Amino acid sequence: MANLLSSAPTHATLPDCFVFPPDQRPPASSQAVSLPVIDLSRGRDEVRRAVLDAGKELGFFQVVNHGVSPEAIRDMEAVCAEFFRLPAEDKVGFYSEDTDKPNRLFSSTTYELGGEKYWRDCLRLSCGSPVGDTKNNWPDKPQKLREVVEKFVGPTRGVGMELLRLLCEGMGLRPDYFEGDLTGGDVIINVNHYPPCPAPGLTLGLPPHCDRNLITLLLQSTVPGLQVSYKGDWINVESAVPNAFVVNFGHLLEIATNGVLKSIEHRAMTNAALARTSVATFIMPAADIPIGPAEELLGEGNPPRYRTVTFDEFMRVYKTVGARRESVEKAFKL
């Protein structure tokens, strides 16, 4: 348990295992972007166009008036922060370095393609839909954690499904294309906690990566740290508006849309003074479901750009080649 950054003594200097090579360290970036804000309560035609346009332009956007109550969001953020403040002895039973465990607490993961560790603790929860008995596999402390997560994850999944329906309508797919097995896997929640770091310029909270799912909804935190790859540069994402979800697409959505929508690389920075806790909700397919370009998006002059794979196969390759966009694309492009 000594490996858990949030339970360790404050580091005066950054341990060598967290120091990235100079060419991979975060450069000083002065560029910042305020992500587009889409009000889901507006007219459907307007919202459909806005979601599709924002997804194609930057690949990241915010949604508000989405139907998840401010109370559910506040409670989720509060209970997640409280979890990482617990004494080490209250978390030790949930700590595991077994990557096959669907529910676990882990820390200081080694990036697959290098030896460096990144500056993050993570609580990962696997949530059935509906949650049902899957909540019995989550931590029992803080006392309200299970109740709060259950009230949060159902409506949040609903937002993700509605965004997928809007995207389908905008691209000419039937609205329920992603219903059923394509989104039938457990919803995965990653609570990412980045403690204050003694040398933010030498390490990363998360390295550059593309998400491995269909669509991600993020409670970003008021502490900045998210950076997005845009036109060859890394740009800082300004703090989200209150009660907004930051939305981005996973590589599986890029495959399913034959590249109409892109999975954009992003990374997490660290902060010398402030801890940052974000909550990412991932919509996933069932394990044995084949995923390939939708036939409705193919035709003369528009052949399939990606091969069809099952989610299990995708994950095996993803873990082997690493999470960088170029590596994932090379593995699945025709």
Among residues 323, 326, 55, 61, the alpha carbon closest in space to that of 208 is found at 323
Among residues 249, 240, 241, 263, the alpha carbon closest in space to that of 164 is found at 249
Q: Would you identify the CATH topology of the domain 19-332?
A: Jelly Rolls (2.60.120)
**In this predicted model, what pLDDT tens digit does every residue of 39-74 receive, in sequence order?**
999 999 999 999 999 999 889 999 999 999 999 999
CA distance 108 to 237: 24
Which region among 83-87, 165-169, 316-320 has the lowest average model confidence (pLDDT)?
316-320
What is the average pLDDT value for the chain, to the nearest integer?
A: 90
% residues pLDDT > 70 (the chain): 93
Residue type (1 letter), 51: V
The yes-or-no verdict on residue 3 having pLDDT over 80 is no
| β-strand partners of 104 | 124
Whole-number CA gyration radius for the chain: 19
Q: What is the pTM of this model?
A: 0.94
Place of tokens 């939305």: 247
**In this predicted model, what pLDDT tens digit does every residue of 89-108 receive, in sequence order?**
999 899 998 888 999 999 87
Domain ranges (residues) in the chain: 19-332
Residue type (1 letter), 233: D
CA distance 119 to 205: 4
User: HSE-up of 306 (CA within 13 Å, CB side)?
Assistant: 28
**In this predicted model, what pLDDT tens digit does every residue of 148-178 receive, in sequence order?**
999 999 999 999 999 999 999 999 999 999 9
Which is more confidently placed, 64 or 324? Answer: 64
Note the pLDDT of residue 19. Answer: 87
**pLDDT (mean) for 70-83:** 97
The yes-or-no verdict on residue 2 having pLDDT over 50 is no
User: HSE-up of 213 (CA within 13 Å, CB side)?
Assistant: 22
Note the pLDDT of residue 109. Answer: 72
Note the pLDDT of residue 110. Answer: 58
Which region among 28-37, 118-127, 132-141 has the lowest average model confidence (pLDDT)?
28-37
